[in-house]
């Protein structure tokens, strides 16, 4: 347990060093932490406060202000269903329901094996490709329910 903590601290110090420990880089540091863990573990946020000499309250403020940050564990692959108007009109809700059935979780949840987290997001900014689902940053355009099993299979590999 203690070794794990030491490893975590070493990993965190490497991330902080990328930004020379600049307090003004807190957002970028939190982004890198989220990329490393897929979410922001509370224990690591506490370490950020200690290592950067920033009050924990401030670290939490930033971590909770931005929607892109998650304080709850997320799966290896984050599936984001666009809930913007164009996607909604093109049946995004059906895609979401289909994904919920395929993954056997509700929106906002993570599969037991921590492979997938399913989320709904606002307009992804590529409305002409509606309906759109983003998985790990990859846009899947004009998505149909029939394509979903194959797409998920590729991410399971
Ligand atoms: S509404 Fe879905 S990308 Fe804009």
User: What string of pLDDT tens digits covers the 157 residues of the chain?
Assistant: 567 778 999 999 999 999 999 999 999 999 999 989 889 999 999 999 999 999 999 999 999 998 889 998 889 899 999 999 999 999 999 999 999 999 999 999 999 999 999 999 999 999 999 999 999 889 999 999 999 999 999 999 8
Radius of gyration of the chain (CA): 18
For the stretch 67-92, what's the b/e string if a residue is b when 16 or more beta carbons lie within 10 angstroms of its beta carbon? eebbeeebbebbbbbbbbebbeebbb
- Pairwise CA distance, residues 105 & 72, whole Å: 15
- Pairwise CA distance, residues 105 & 96, whole Å: 11
Q: 140 has which bridge partners?
A: 133
If you take atom 1 of ligand 1, which residue's CA is the nearest one?
84
71 lines ligand 1 (CB under 6 A): no
Q: Which atom of ligand 1 is nearest to the CA of 129?
A: 3
Strand order in the sheet with 138-140: 116-121, 77-82, 133-135, 138-140
pTM: 0.74
């Amino acid at each position: 347990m203690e070794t794990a903590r030491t490893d975590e601290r070493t990993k965190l110090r490497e991330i902080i060093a990328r930004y020379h420990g600049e307090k003004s880089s807190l957002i970028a540091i939190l982004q890198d932490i989220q990329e490393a863990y897929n979410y922001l573990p509370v224990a690591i946020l506490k370490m950020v406060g200690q290592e950067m000499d920033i009050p924990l309250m401030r670290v939490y403020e930033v971590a909770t202000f931005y929607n892109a940050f998650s304080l709850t564990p997320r799966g290896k692959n984050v599936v984001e269903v666009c809930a913007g108007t164009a996607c909604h009109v093109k049946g995004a809700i059906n895609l979401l329901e289909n994904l919920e059935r395929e993954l056997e979780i509700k929106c906002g949840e993570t599969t037991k094996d921590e492979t997938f987290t399913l989320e709904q997001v606002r307009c992804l900014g590529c409305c002409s490709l509606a309906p759109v689902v983003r998985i790990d940053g990859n846009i899947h355009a004009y998505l149909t329910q029939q394509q979903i099993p194959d797409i998920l299979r590729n991410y399971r590999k």
